[in-house]
Amino acid sequence: MNKWITFDLDGTLMQNPFSAWIFPEVEQLICGELNRNIEVRKALFQEHKLRMKRQEMVAAYDWDDIVRQLSKDWGLSLSIDVEQLLLKHAAAPKIYLLDDTVLPTLEKLKQKGYSLAAVTNGFRKYQYPVMEELGIGSLFDDIITPERMECGKPDAGILRELQQDGIIVAHVGDRLDHDIHMANQSGIPSVLVARDLPAGLEVLSPAERTTQAPFLQRCEEQMRKEDPELHTSLQPEAYRPAYAICQMDELLACIDELASRSSGAAAAD
Ligand SMILES: [Mg+2]
């Protein structure tokens, strides 16, 4: 039986080139043809949010389709290929791993016998070239994306195939509304990547941190920013992670603790 550890990508392991490179170039191309300045990036995000609101979780992350639709609405003749822009900008230093321990930690988890899966709302065609360029592509046994699963986080349906194939030991991510909430409602130990932990909490263990008032306050603020509507409908427990880590190598101790807990439970059975 496979023991999976699932990872969010953007904001968790890596920085993609969308916000700093691709969206500005799309804006420049469109304003160039229109010969006036319009807030293209704002319009792209509005369309993304509109699709999310309509529960079109796959279409919401189809940036080629979003750009195509807006270009048509604005009567543009140029055609912009977001996938090609991604390939053009998927190179260091435009893209990078978010800390120095990402690569060695993934390698250690593989050596310990875990299977690794990326569970991302980004389409494979936008994510895999970045992962490969950063040297982490081959470490993943599977890459789960919305266009394949026909749903996106926080819909736990995105985990269906992995759960049929084995057990998910932990899910690691940076968003409370997508990553932590999804893991918690699926009974999967959740690990929040919080590189900006409130001062003084670094000295505590990743599990202890999540019980501290300044941390809970931080989660409350983060959740309100991520999804104001969901924030009002959820109890804080729904988005409180089991662990909070401030760099990726702290994950190793969390996984060891979960493994010893599950072997203890098996011995007690
Ligand atoms: Mg993320």
Ligand 1 center to residue 41 CA distance, Å?
19
CA of 130 to the centre of ligand 1 (A): 14
Measured between alpha carbons, how far is residue 83 from residues 44, 65, 89, 171 in Å?
16, 11, 10, 28
Residue 264 has pLDDT above 90, yes or no: no
- C-beta separation of 151 from 58 below 8 A: yes
Which is more confidently placed, 267 or 245?
245
Amino acid type, 216? L
Tell me the mean pLDDT in the region 232-253: 95
Q: Separation of 44 CA from ligand 1 center, angstroms?
A: 19
Pair 71, 38: CB distance under 8 Å: no
Q: How far is the CA of 157 from the centre of ligand 1 (A)?
A: 18
Beta strands in the chain (DSSP E): 2-7, 14-15, 96-97, 115-119, 142-144, 166-173, 190-193, 243-245
260-266 mean pLDDT: 82
CATH number listed for the domain at residues 2-15+99-268: 3.40.50.1000
Distance linking the first and last C-alpha atoms of the chain: 19
Mean pLDDT of all residues in 49-66: 95
| Average pLDDT score over residue span 215-242 | 93
Tokens of 184: 């918690």
- pLDDT for 268 beyond 70: no
Q: How many angstroms does the Cα of residue 137 sit away from the middle of ligand 1?
A: 17
Give the model's pLDDT for residue 232: 86
**Domain locations in the chain?**
2-15+99-268, 18-89
Whether residue 230 is predicted with pLDDT greater than 90 in this model: the reply is no
* Tens-place pLDDT, residues 111-147: 999 999 999 999 999 999 999 999 999 999 999 999 9
Residue 145 corresponds to which amino acid?
A: T
Strands 14-15 and 142-144: unpaired
